[in-house]
Amino acid sequence: MDFFEHQAKANRSSKYLIVGYTLALIVLTIGFNLGGLLVWAIATEPAELAKASESHSYSTILHHWLDTRYSWQVTVSVVLFVGMVSLANWLTLRQGGSKVAEMMGGRRIPANTMNRDERRLLNVVEEMALASGLPVPEVFIMDREHAINAFAAGYSPNEAAICVTRGLTISLNRDELQGVIGHEFSHILNGDMRLNVKMMSILSGLVAMGQLGRWLVDLGLRGGHDARGGIVFLALPGVLIWILGSLGVLCSRIIKAALSRQREFMADASAVQFTRQTQGIASALYKIHTHHHQSILTTRHAENLSHMCIAKTLSLRFSTWLDTHPPIEERITRLDAQFLTKAKIQRAQERQQTLQTSDAPAESSGSTSSSVTLSTATSPALSEVTSGLAADTRASADLYGIELQQEEMIEFTSPFQQANVDQAIASIGLSDQQSITAARSCLSSIPNELITGLHQPDYASLLLLLILAQNNSRPESATALLIEQESYPQSLIDHYLPMVHEMKERPVYPLLQLGLASLKSLSAEDKKALLVTAKKVIMSDKQILPQELFFYLVLFRHLNPKASRNPRVEFSSFSHLKPELSTLFGFLSQFTEEAHQLAAYQHAVQQFQIKETSLPNIKTISHQALANAIFRVEHLAPLLKRSVLMAVTDLMQHDDTMTHQELDWLRMLGDCWDCPIPMALGK
């Protein structure tokens, strides 16, 4: 199953969610009607109720209840309450993954943080984002949570956020951290994240009824301690609402378990592919299993969040069939059948060593340890932790702690071998060892000062404009335009310009990814000003190149508040998009070798039964027409979007080669369509 099939499956699961929600609402409404019937019968018709109990026939009293206005009042009240809570949460959560993280008590980690644990976390997130082709997600930390847990939230990769607990950052080594982040990236790539947020918003209404009852009970009991009696009368109806509302909680847990459990196995497997080894995610899960707090959260939103995290957030006393996650032991065994056995042996050896040490005379106060977690000294599987941490402490000399062998370095200025189109498309939404190596090679080739500047919002805007200017056909005049704007000190421009110029022949999308992560914190006015200036830089030479067009559209999509954050599927066929596809293919074919331009264009349009086979004049294609064509393709159904990307990939390598610049164009185009393309496409 490839990326596009995962997206289509997630869309189908959304339909199952609506069906499950509707059935659960019906069950909850019936439950409250039965509760209302019982209260009404006791209060108004006790004799009729006693008679019905003796004869075991409740049809008469049920008909009486349905004839009263109370039955409809109960039904309407339940439906309205549940619906309004679900709608309110949906309106809040649709604003982006950052809203979900903030609701859970998360604090945004700034891109320029110097905290050691937070810097290490951001480094891992950035490295994986560059490798996979995803926009760098915002990263949040729940400072008050000491358990080990994490989740990804958002409706699309464009506005995704990753939130981790404080316990995770201090308990896991770098390999384990990579495993957890790889797991969360899988949820982003496979569409699970969007489905999870939908579940959180929709099912919150079902859960809220039970929470309302519990709140009334607490309020009533607290009032009962008041000398005046307080509001103790609220406790009795609160108990009834709490008990009946538990039906909603039960239904929501069943729906979550049905839709979430298998996705966790898939995400674990994807984490292995991301990190190149099994031990990282397996060891992280084992630490969760043996940690004092495990993965249990203290936030009042733990119930709503239960299906989104890497491990369960609640300690349920019911049967495990209600758990949103498979047992951790089973997850570890699927990753490595021998891991738990080795871990138990190692823990036994450590306990024995501790006992022997405690019996012997202590040579120093630090000679013993009570830790029962896996030791890097005795476990080859976890032996890389020391080097990983050491790399992060050398951040001042080498920001990412990347040490590559000479044979792993990639020359980004030379073309690479032709990628088979089918293999190329199959690699979309995936990341492997080659992509991770390519990302590390790319990061190691960027001056540390440039990366540090991209982590600062004010400097990042200037750097991205300078990068855009250097990709202009007249870089000197484009740079002069920036100086004339007087928005940035000329001394700062002169300082960064040589570094940016050195990057001219290298991919620009990774730099754009790093810069956008910090630009999200700019004010709306600053974002608008940046887009206006970027457009002026592009048009300074009266023409538009692919790298300029795609660079600007990615900027626009991430920074313009009116840009689509969660594009709807509006087209289930190509019939309404043929003019747009013709425009896009016509533009791109102009940048292949001249001898192949017409053949490349005709081959592309014939796949979509477009009758226009004469190559369009590039001078007649406007910037607005191109932008409109690209953004309309974004609204295609996932499996149809795959066909367009296959055609674009085939067009770019029609001359039997694809340069790293062309791959860079393709990756930026993939960003515009929420189709993350890895660095080592089809290699």
pLDDT digits over 427-479, tens only?
777 767 778 888 888 888 888 899 999 999 889 999 999 999 988 888 888 88
pLDDT band, residue 57 (cuts 50/70/90): low
Give the structural domain span for 645: 570-672
Q: Are residues 501 and 584 in the same domain?
A: no
Instruction: Evaluate whether residue 354 is within a structural domain.
Output: no
Which tens digit of pLDDT belongs to each residue from 249-281? Answer: 888 888 888 888 888 888 888 888 777 778 889
Q: Are residues 467 and 517 in the same domain?
A: yes
What percentage of the chain reaches a pLDDT higher than 90?
A: 22
Rg of the chain (C-alpha set): 29
Task: Give the pair of three-digit tokens for residue 415.
Answer: 């073309």
In what helix (H) or strand (E) does residue 153 lie, and over which residues does it extend?
strand 150-153
Q: Is the Cβ–Cβ distance between 4 and 644 less than 8 Å? A: no
Instruction: Evaluate whether residue 92 is within a structural domain.
Output: no
Q: Are residues 530 and 578 in the same domain?
A: no
Instruction: Evaluate whether residue 197 is within a structural domain.
Output: no
What percentage of the chain reaches a pLDDT higher than 70?
A: 83
Instruction: Evaluate whether residue 267 is within a structural domain.
Output: no
The one-character DSSP state at 141 is: E
The residue that leads in pLDDT, 311 or 42, is 311
How many structural domains compose the chain?
A: 2
Q: Are residues 489 and 526 in the same domain?
A: yes
pLDDT band, residue 170 (cuts 50/70/90): very high
Q: Are residues 437 and 533 in the same domain?
A: yes
SS3 per-residue string spanning 162-223: EEEEHHHHHHCCHHHHHHHHHHHHHHHHCCHHHHHHHHHHHHHHHHHHHHHHHHHHHHHHHH
Q: Are residues 516 and 610 in the same domain?
A: no
Owner of token pair 């932008």: 627
Instruction: Evaluate whether residue 579 is within a structural domain.
Output: yes
Q: Are residues 537 and 574 in the same domain?
A: no
What's residue 54's pLDDT?
61
Q: Are residues 442 and 535 in the same domain?
A: yes
What's residue 382's pLDDT?
32
- 446 three-class SS: coil
Last residue of a domain, one of 541, 556, 578: 541
Task: Give the pair of three-digit tokens for residue 511.
Answer: 């730099």
Establish whether 45 is a catalytic residue.
no
Count of CB atoms within 10 A of residue 552's CB?
A: 20
Residues 598 and 604: their CA atoms lie apart, in Å, by 10
Instruction: Evaluate whether residue 611 is within a structural domain.
Output: yes
Instruction: Evaluate whether residue 103 is within a structural domain.
Output: no
Catalytic one among 184, 350, 548, 580?
A: 184
What is the per-residue DSSP string for 459-511?
Answer: HHHHHHHHHHHHTSSSHHHHHHHHHHHTSS-HHHHHHHHHHHHHTTTS-SHHH
- Over the chain, what is the mean pLDDT? 80
Residues 450 and 489: their CA atoms lie apart, in Å, by 17
Judged against a pLDDT cut of 70, whether residue 528 lies above it is answered with yes
Q: Are residues 523 and 616 in the same domain?
A: no
Which tens digit of pLDDT belongs to each residue from 593-651? Answer: 777 788 888 888 888 888 877 777 777 788 888 889 998 998 888 888 888 988 888 88
Q: Are residues 513 and 576 in the same domain?
A: no
Q: Are residues 581 and 537 in the same domain?
A: no
What's residue 624's pLDDT?
86
Q: Could you tell me the CA-to-CA distances from 29 to 75, 82, 215 in Å, in that order?
A: 6, 10, 20
Task: Give the pair of three-digit tokens for residue 177.
Answer: 């951290």
Decide: residue 353, CB within 10 A, 0-12 exposed, 13-18 middle, 19+ buried. Answer: middle
Q: Are residues 505 and 580 in the same domain?
A: no
Last residue of a domain, one of 541, 557, 585: 541
Return all residues near 137 (Cβ < 8 A) that are at least 6 apart: 97, 125, 129, 152, 154, 157, 160, 161, 162, 188, 517
Instruction: Evaluate whether residue 623 is within a structural domain.
Output: yes
What's residue 55's pLDDT?
59
